[in-house]
Structure 1
Amino acid sequence: MSAFSILFLAFCSAWMSQAQTEFKRVAEANVTLPCYHRLYLLEPKSLDIEWLLKDSKDESKVVINYAGGKVYNNLIEEQKGRVSFASNLLAGDASLKISLLQSSDAGLYTCKVKNAGQYEWTYITLKVLERPSKPKCWKEGEPSEGKEISLQCNSVSGTTPIIYKWDRIDEEGKAGLMPPLTHINFSNPAQILMKNLTRTSTGLYQCTASNEAGQESCIVEVTVQYAQNFGVVAGAVCGALGVPSLVFLAVWLTIKRKEKKKYEEEETPNEIREDAEAPKARLVKPGSSSSGSRSSHSGSSSTRSTANSASRSQQTLSTEATPHVTPMQRSQAERENREMEPKKINHTNLINTEAIPTMLPAQSRAFQTV
């Protein structure tokens, strides 16, 4: 090998080492991987260009090839119709164009140019970035005053690492300050903890998932329920049920009190009337015209009146002395007294009756004298 060839290869190696670069592109975008060479100056008909891909499985595949004046593409099923030479490869530009990038397009690309026994290589690493998928937001816990809840967010796909950020959104859609006692779960940055909730914690909260390819967000609404509201509602319900019950109870007690008072007022006059009926049981028989008989009956009536008065006085004293006697006991005692009074009256009448026959002859004689 001549000294010229050695110098040329050294120059190409140095140039290729400088050509090793890395490209990052977002999925669905287009990319052009550069590959420039000088071998087109040698033998144009013997020029051979080949692009190789070593994927994540460390497998090498031919992406596109130029040989014998023809281009051969569509060699990889996943890249059919999406790969081509970007420029005039016969003029020293063998760059590769890939349209509508997919995650399967990522890997190490090698551009190999061969002509007249000489080689040039270009190495390019392509990373296809996928923006995070639309995240899902949700809350866990009881959103009440003094309680604790957690807000969580998750994006199921996207190029790692995915960064999560929570913000509070005001009425104008701008990010505001988070409530006090809000902490990030460092073991799971997609989760935040909100402790000791207050009414000021009510609002909209936005989670943003981002990476090198872009970002997506979701919003969750937090409504803090006030503990005092439950007390007021419970009090109102109890009041609505309790007030009518209290009114009904008061009315019922009033009616019962009036009925008891009326019963006591009616019971006392009845006892007096029952005691007063005893003298009426002994009346003077019609047809008795003698004055002696009237005197005897008057005396008898006086005696009965005195006995009845004494009996009533005794009953009144006994009633006053025993204020705790029930109405039934008083009625029984009155009946016993009434049974005893006629016996006394009969005894008196018997005495008067014995006196009457002694007076009859005198009266007869008087009438006979007239």
Structure 2
Amino acid sequence: MSHAQTVFKRVAEANVTLPCHHRLHNLEPKSLDIEWLLEDSEADPRVVITYAGGNIYTFLTEEQKGRVSFASNFQAGDASLEISFLQPSDTGLYTCKVKNAGQYEWTRITLKVLEKPSKPKCWKEGEMSEGKEMTLQCNSASGTKPITYRWKRVIDKEGKTGSLPHTAQINLSNSAQIMMKNLTWTDSGSYECTAFNEAGQDSCIVQVTVQYARNLGVIAGAACGAIAVPALVFLTVWLTIRRKEKKKYEEEESPNEIREDAEAPKARLVKPGSSSSGSRSSHSGSSSTRSTANSASRSQQTLSTEATPHITPTQHSQVNANGREAEPKKINHTNLVKTEATSAMVPAQSRAFQTV
């Protein structure tokens, strides 16, 4: 009898050969019987492969169908078992039993199929601002337990890593989590989490950017500026257009005001001594009055020119109360001209009003 027992550890999807050597093949070759059994924690022992009566039986378990076989010449003393493309379900205690001519030998081997951690997922929780605190977490969904997590800081683009900042503290009960308190801008950067076990490892990276507290006001000011600048430009353009429109309006209205003001002095040229009907006339009557005044002025000049040569001073001898002969009065030619001009003006004005 043989009671050897060893432990084999293999990575999932790899191949393994479980050794089983015996010395019973020389006894009765036709009565040789070989059997591999698997014991795991979930089911009763089951047959993996067997040789009996000169035949090999391998399709005994659905999980290992087509993946198990004898590795060598089992009839010559090597009944080793080969399992290909290992799965986590292949883990367990394997027993190799060999019997022939009433004699027994067996070998026990513990097989552990190790599955390396799946690609972990990294994420962050908390507020990434100066003075605040945040948590970095990492988790691998599958893999052989136990899985250990290790955090490092990425220093450069080549992937070189270094130690964590002094603000980071690893959660002792869960190495997949680190806490960072009283954040500063120096804590910004890339952080790498590596999940590993006996089968292998894999990693992920999370980016941390700590915001400056004073930058929040700058950002808010920039946002307000972005809104205020277009509004200021619009207001400037609008005021410019309004100023041009106002200037254009004043230029258009200025000549009209001058023409209206120009007629006012002409209306005041009419003398108060004119006919009462002229003073009660309308704006058109005022214009007629000005025309009549101009005609009268020309008539006055004509009469003064024509009347002057024909006027001669006539002397009349008058006797005063004392019986003396008074001296003849001298005629004032200036008064005479004014009197005749006034006489000539009145009929001309009358004709002017009649025409109007």
Deviation larger for 27-36 or 185-194: 185-194
CA distance in 2, matches of 1:102, 1:25: 10
Structure 2 residue aligned with 1:73: 58
One-letter code aligned to 2:33: D
The correspondence of residues 1-370 of structure 1 with structure 2, limited to 5 A, is 12=1, 16-17=2-3, 19-170=4-155, 171-235=157-221
Distance 1:241 1:122 in 2: 83
Q: Distance in 1 between matches of 2:74 and 2:227?
A: 93
Q: Distance in 1 between matches of 2:118 and 2:228?
A: 57
Kindly tell me: are residues 51 and 240 of structure 1, through their superposed partners in 2, closer, same or farther at Cα, counting changes over 3 Å?
closer
User: Deviations along 1:154-197, whole A, 9 cap, x unmatched?
Assistant: 11111000000011112220111211221001121100001111
Distance 1:110 1:230 in 2: 69
Q: Give how far 1:239 is off.
A: 7.7
Q: CA shift at 1:242, angstroms?
A: 9.4
- Structure 1 pair 242/93, CA: closer, same or farther in 2 (3 Å)? closer
Aligned to 1:350: none
Unaligned runs of 5+ in 1: 1-11, 249-370
Given residue 22 of structure 1, which amino acid in structure 2 is its aligned partner? V
1:27–1:240 distance in 2 versus 1, CA, 3 Å: closer
Q: 1:234 Cα deviation (Å)?
A: 3.6
Query: 1: distance between equivalents of 2:5 and 2:86?
Result: 20
Shift of 1:63: 0.5
Q: Counterpart of 1:364? A: none
Letter in 2 for 1:79: Q
The match for 2:297 is none
Q: Kindly tell me: are residues 47 and 232 of structure 1, through their superposed partners in 2, closer, same or farther at Cα, counting changes over 3 Å?
A: same
In structure 2, give the amino acid aligned to 1:63.
V
Q: Distance in 2 between matches of 1:21 and 1:148?
A: 50
- SS of 1:41 mapped into structure 2: coil
C-alpha distance in 2 between matches for 1:74 and 1:53: 14
Unaligned runs of 5+ in 2: 236-356
Query: What's the secondary structure of 1:231's corresponding residue?
Result: helix
CA distance in 2 between partners of 1:241 and 1:123 (Å): 80
Tell me the CA shift for residue 240 of structure 1: 8.5
CA distance in 1, matches of 2:120, 2:204: 6
The corresponding residue for 2:311 is none
CA distance in 2, matches of 1:215, 1:77: 30
Which residue pairs with 2:354 in the alignment? none
Return the alpha-carbon distance in structure 1 between the equivalents of residues 184 and 163 of structure 2: 15
Q: If the length of structure 2 is used for normalisation, what is the TM-score?
A: 0.62
Q: State how many pairs are aligned.
A: 231
Task: Give the Cα separation in 1 of the matches to 2:28 and 2:107.
Answer: 20
Map Cα deviations across residues 276-331 of structure 1 (whole Å, 9 max, x no partner): xxxxxxxxxxxxxxxxxxxxxxxxxxxxxxxxxxxxxxxxxxxxxxxxxxxxxxxx
Note closer, same or farther for the CA distance 1:51–1:231 as it changes in structure 2 (3 Å cut): same
Distance 2:38 2:221 in 1: 75
Give the counterpart letter for 1:102 in structure 2. Answer: Q
Pairwise CA RMSD of aligned residues? 2.1
Q: Which amino acid is the alignment partner of residue 181 of structure 2?
A: K
Amino acid at match of 1:137: C
- The separation in 2 between residues aligned to 1:152 and 1:87, in whole angstroms, is 49
Q: Give the 3 Å change call, closer, same or farther, for CA 199–72 of structure 1 in structure 2.
A: same
Shift of 1:232: 2.5
Residue 231 (structure 1) shift: 2.1
In the other structure, the counterpart of 2:309 is none
Q: How far apart in 1 are the matches of 2:49 and 2:173?
A: 45
* Corresponding residue for residue 298 of structure 1: none
